[in-house]
Amino acid sequence: MKFSKMHSLSNDFVVINNTKKKYYLDKNIIQKLSNRYTSIGFDQLLLIELSNNKNIDFHYRIFNADGKEVNQCGNGARCFAIYVKLKKLTLKKNIFISTNTNILHLKILKNNKVCVNMGTPLFNPESLPFLGKLKKDSYSLFFNNKLIIFDIVSLGNPHCVIQVNNISDIPIKLIGSFIQNHKLFPNKVNVGFMEFINSNNIKLRVFERGVGETNACGTGACAAVAIGIKKKLLSDKVKVDLIGGSLDIKWKGKNSHIFMKGDAHYIYDGEIDL
């Protein structure tokens, strides 16, 4: 199988062109490929497929390192755009791709930067899903006898956002695992820890489903900004500083679409015997 290795803000991917030769990758194969010690290694595997809709350029599928398919990956979407340009699968700079849940608009800019229209953030519990009995502005859980207050939002995948004073002092894995696997989130959840710097800048760490903490998470950045704007902490343009680098997020609020801008990079092509 031929593949390409790519990264965006050190969030790394294996990209496979499934438009001509079809590869069927089951959960066990994906888990083996994701192993950084005995195979290629990656946070997510991305499949590029043909679209059945004449108005959509490609179909986009995402698999986490644990082999489970998910519905959205913002950093992966930017790598997707750079890949189809590099491999001359399209000459367009404005690309429309379908996922299992929505349609994304990718705009290729200069210097390997891509702007992605991530759609409209959804705050209703059913969209994640979240099994809380009532819709609230914020929710809470007890962890080790301490109250954790969090907010929820869906961007094609589920996110829980916790505001903290200092993301360097937080036991990300312990709290992230506890919330991610809580019975209130039947499909599990991505857990973001947001540190407020000012109305135009936040720091963020994300504990992702099926992966653990990653160096960056595009949908996580959008989720944190959407929550911050909803709570009137942030302006409509925010720089999000992650471990692997920064993203620019723009959202006008309410029912408008949220936009994410950042870079993406090709690393190498390879072949592996399945």
Three-state helix/strand/coil letters over 177-234 = HHHHCCCCCCCCCEEEEEEEEECCEEEEEEEECCCEEECCCHHHHHHHHHHHHHCCCC
What secondary structure does DSSP assign to 21-37, as a single string? S-----HHHHHHHH-TT
Closest-CA residue to 16 (of 73, 70, 62): 62
SS3 at position 173: helix
**Cα separation, 153 vs 220, whole angstroms:** 10
| Catalytic pick among 79, 115, 160, 217 | 217
**Cα separation, 89 vs 269, whole angstroms:** 16
Diameter over CA atoms, the chain: 56
| Catalytic pick among 73, 79, 115, 222 | 73
Residues β-bridged to residue 249: 238, 260
CB 272 within 8 A of CB 14: no
Closest-CA residue to 5 (of 45, 38, 65, 55): 45
SS3 at position 175: helix
Neighbouring residues of 11: CB distance < 8 A, sequence distance ≥ 6? 43, 44, 75, 76, 214, 215, 216, 217, 218, 244
Judge whether 73 counts as a catalytic residue: yes
Catalytic residues: 73, 217
